[in-house]
Structure 1
Amino acid sequence: MKKHKLNQSGAAHLILVIVIVLAAVGGFAYWRISQIQNESSDDTSASTPSDSSARIKHLGIDLDYYDSATQTAGDIKFIKLPTSEGGVDSVFWEYGRMGEASSAGPARRNPQPTFIAPLGTKVHALVDGTVVNVPKLYSGDYSVHVQPKGSDLIFETEHVINVKVKKGDTVKAGDVVAEVSDYDSHNLDGLGLFEIGILKGGNPPKHVCTFDYLDDSIKAETLKKITALEDAWEDFIGNPDFYNQAAEPTPG
């Protein structure tokens, strides 16, 4: 009888130990799940979907009217580009421009405005916001993604090197974030290039027209300078039909 009671006592102790262990495991699991959720929340780049206040306050480089004496338009240097098949053939490629088919692939529309500028040219943040990603690209250079607070849009400066910012940094429009890339510089007589773009949702994300999102503080003057840039390039190369400005709802 005494032995039976001892067995019962031992079983009770064992059950108690099991209950304590299960409670501890359950508590840890709950704590860890909460931590993971918090980490995921901190890492996300998506905020409340609303692009109403997301506006570009800097073009990414300093653009000005063409100066024939220096053959520059702000940061942009005019040269006769020794382009290869399917290569860039102007100092500015507008959004939606149809490229030529080449050995690298079929003709396609340019998804982002592209600027050609001397190597070392500084690239600036387009908007106020947080750096949400700095991915390395297939071309060996980088893209800087900035997302304004409360917006579902991501504004990028693509094909850049010597990046000055990292994920999590807060930037203001006009802050230097990188330099133009040396990608394809062998086809551009030593010049660099970079692109500006806006990404919206999806995987892959949708590209939208950058110049539709210019802030009112720079919109009128920037669009005048883009039109003047296209006119100056056509004069420079002697081809008045290089750009189809009549088909551009918004210049650029």
Structure 2
Amino acid sequence: MKKNQSGFAHIFIVLIIIVVIGIIGLVFWRVTSNKQSSSVPGEVTVDTPKIKDLGINLDYYNEATGMAGDIAFIKLPAVPGGIEAPFLEYGRYTPESSAGPARLNPQPTFLAPLGTKVRSLVDGKVVNVSKLYSGDYAIHVQPEGSDIIFDLEHVINVKVKVGDTVRAGQEVAEVSDYDSRNIGGLGLYEIGVFFPGDPPKHACTFDYLDDSIKAETLKKLSALQDSWEQFIGNTSIYDQAAAPIPGCATRDLVEG
């Protein structure tokens, strides 16, 4: 009898070990699966976190107000190496100048009046708030279960801290006053889809738009570029015909 009990106990222990190993394996597979779904830079799948808010208001240009949502249309100062439009697309080529070496823009840039509120692009956790060389700040938000970081750069009056959970559309900062004197007194801010690494890389931001805002946002981005060229009287500011998607001059990854 004791021998049988000992045998049953042994079998029971083995079964428990098998169950525990199975649970550990399942948890590991699910975590790995979630990570893999968004870990390939530039590859967007149904499981990839998406941008649900552009951070500021974008609309069609209103000639009466001189605004396209939060974006102001003014005659910008001609500054060597400076900003020549209220929107600079992802991957835009910037030639070498006194301001720095030639490069491709890793983050779309927007100009808006000082004081304009900036909102989170996605739902997620704030994983970094850091001061930049320019004296303003960068905010990194990472959706749960993803290794993609959605960044807001060149912002001031930051209202969140590392560890905070935010929702898309939640106010987190204001546009920066960095270089305001060279952009007609306006503020600026940048958005990005960031993949940490060595080297770090950004992806075409507007490939990551959520379906709920994608179609209308892309139409407004295209209209914004057309309206600015008409406003400034120069149809060579943008090359929309060559763009793979409105707002991105390329779909290639850009280092930085």
Question: Scaled by the length of structure 2, what TM-score is found?
Answer: 0.78
Task: Report the counterpart of residue 8 of structure 2 in structure 1.
Answer: none
Task: Report the counterpart of residue 134 of structure 2 in structure 1.
Answer: 139
From 69, 91, 98, give the equivalent of 1:96.
Answer: 91
Task: Report the counterpart of residue 185 of structure 2 in structure 1.
Answer: 190
From 159, 175, 184, give the equivalent of 1:180.
Answer: 175
Tell me, what secondary structure is at the counterpart of 1:236?
Answer: helix
Q: Distance in 2 between matches of 1:106 and 1:193?
A: 21
Deviations 1:64-118 (A, max 9, x none): 1100011100001100101311000100000111113211322211111000000
Deviations 1:128-158 (A, max 9, x none): 0000000110100001100001111000010
**Structure 1 gap ranges (5+):** 1-46
Q: Distance in 2 between matches of 1:49 and 1:84?
A: 44
CA RMSD, Structure 1 to Structure 2 (Å):
1.1
Contact 1:112 1:195 in 2 (8 A): yes
The reply to whether residue 246 of structure 1 matches residue 241 of structure 2 is yes
Question: Scaled by the length of structure 1, what TM-score is found?
Answer: 0.80
Tell me, what secondary structure is at the counterpart of 1:58?
Answer: coil
**Structure 2 gap ranges (5+):** 1-33, 39-46, 248-256
- Which stretches of structure 1, 4 residues or more, deviate above 2 A after TM superposition? 47-53
From 54, 72, 80, give the equivalent of 1:77.
Answer: 72
Letter in 2 for 1:150: G
Letter in 1 for 2:35: T
Letter in 2 for 1:50: S
Tell me, what secondary structure is at the counterpart of 1:123?
Answer: strand
Q: Distance in 2 between matches of 1:92 and 1:203?
A: 28
In the TM superposition, residue 63 of structure 1 has moved relative to its aligned partner by 0.4
Task: Report the counterpart of residue 120 of structure 1 in structure 2.
Answer: 115
Letter in 2 for 1:71: G
Letter in 1 for 2:130: P
In the TM superposition, residue 48 of structure 1 has moved relative to its aligned partner by 3.0
Q: Distance in 2 between matches of 1:246 and 1:166?
A: 41
- Count, aligned residues: 206
Contact 1:65 1:229 in 2 (8 A): yes
The reply to whether residue 50 of structure 1 matches residue 37 of structure 2 is yes
Task: Report the counterpart of residue 21 of structure 1 in structure 2.
Answer: none
Q: Distance in 1 between matches of 2:223 and 2:99?
A: 32
Residues 201 and 106 from structure 1, CA distance in 2 versus in 1: closer, same or farther, beyond 3 angstroms? closer
Larger Rg: 1
Q: Distance in 2 between matches of 1:171 and 1:49?
A: 23
The reply to whether residue 201 of structure 1 matches residue 201 of structure 2 is no
- Identity value in percent: 69
Q: Distance in 1 between matches of 2:133 and 2:152?
A: 15
Q: Distance in 2 between matches of 1:81 and 1:250?
A: 26
Contact 1:49 1:150 in 2 (8 A): no
In the TM superposition, residue 49 of structure 1 has moved relative to its aligned partner by 4.1
